[in-house]
Amino acid sequence: MTILISQPELSEDRKDNYDAKELVLDGGFVVPNKTEAFDAPEINSFGNSFRDYNAESERQKTVEEFYRQQHTNQTYDYVTKMREEYGKLDKAVMSIWDCCELLNDVVDDSDPDLDEPQIQHLLQSAEAIRKDYPDEDWLHLTALIHDLGKVLLLPQFGQLPQWAVVGDTFPLGCAFDESNVHHKYFKNNPDFKNPDYSSKNGIYKEGCGLDNVVISWGHDDYMYLVAKENGTTLPHAALFIIRYHSLYPLHKAGAYKHLMNKEDEEDLKWLNIFNKYDLYSKSKVLVDVDEVKPYYQSLIKKYFTETLRW
């Protein structure tokens, strides 16, 4: 059976805002300049600027050590192996909401902005988007599920090391762009000295499309595989957000855009909108889970089957 899924479109007024009346936030994220829109704070819950990887703190030391390990171990061959293993989707059978609740046991060591359980970050992002984009229910659900792949840190899913699950992602099979956080540690990566991967395009052709590019393995790609292979009816833009929301060299610095195709360019507009809420909604103010649960369960029922293979 073929399922036709309509792609979301920015309304004409939002297209105008996006193209001509941009609000450029810290990190380069472009979001519509809307009246009474989400108010992005200037500092994170630790009192530092968001995504400040140089601020002196014990947590920053943890973050830098994380990136040393990630940049050393994430290779083209490693990602190929992990996609084959986890593409089997044989680790669990459960609902989306059951997976959300599992994230109560997860804290992301790569995140310099937050040390709260991940389910709170998901709900904070989703509720902020819901307020500003009440008619885009697919975007609300995308915010709720975008980090569910972090269950890879739990024993049932292999208990992968943090460097194999979280943190900024980056393409493999081509040169490591200098906009990558803690770029200096790539010199320890075996791919760094591979001549086939040393040029800007590497093994790819310009404009080949990000779906044809191997990206470092983590929760983004895993959740993308789970959603896609379980037949979600979310639009392609949602899958793009899930798969590339940690690809900060692209949507922060504009790196790797030469590998994008036309569909990627359209989807990137929605990712730029989403990332404002993904980053700046991190807060110590917690969402009442029981209050919002019925709404998000209704969206899960709309876009997913009751249970999924993970």
Token pair of 100, please?
Answer: 């959300």
Q: What is the pLDDT of residue 3?
A: 37
Token pair of 245, please?
Answer: 């929301």
Q: What is the pLDDT of residue 266?
A: 97
- Distance from C-alpha of 54 to C-alpha of 23, rounded to nearest angstrom: 25
Q: What is the pLDDT of residue 120?
A: 84
- 278 annotated ligand binder: yes
Q: Report the DSSP beta bridge partners of residue 171.
A: 215
Q: Concatenate the DSSP letters of all residues of 182-233 into one string.
A: TGGGGGGSGGGG-GGGSSSSTTS-TT--GGGSEE--SHHHHHHHHHHHTT--
C-alpha distances in angstroms, 273 versus 20, 136, 205, 276?
A: 15, 12, 28, 6
pTM of this structure: 0.82
Residue ranges in the chain whose pLDDT is less than 70: 1-7, 9-57, 59, 107-117, 280-284
- 219 annotated ligand binder: yes
- Distance from C-alpha of 21 to C-alpha of 15, rounded to nearest angstrom: 9
The per-residue b/e assignment along 275-295, b for 16 or more CB within 10 angstroms, e otherwise, is: bbbbbbbbbeeebeeeebeeb
- 71 annotated ligand binder: no
Give the type of residue at 148.
L
SS3 of residue 154 by DSSP: coil
- Distance from C-alpha of 258 to C-alpha of 169, rounded to nearest angstrom: 17
- 108 annotated ligand binder: yes
- 49 annotated ligand binder: no
At which residue do the structure tokens 């059976």 appear? 1
- 168 annotated ligand binder: yes
Q: What is the pLDDT of residue 41?
A: 47
Q: What is the pLDDT of residue 118?
A: 72
- 140 annotated ligand binder: no
Q: What is the pLDDT of residue 56?
A: 56
- 131 annotated ligand binder: no
- 150 annotated ligand binder: yes
H-run or E-run covering 171: strand 171-172
Token pair of 78, please?
Answer: 């490693």
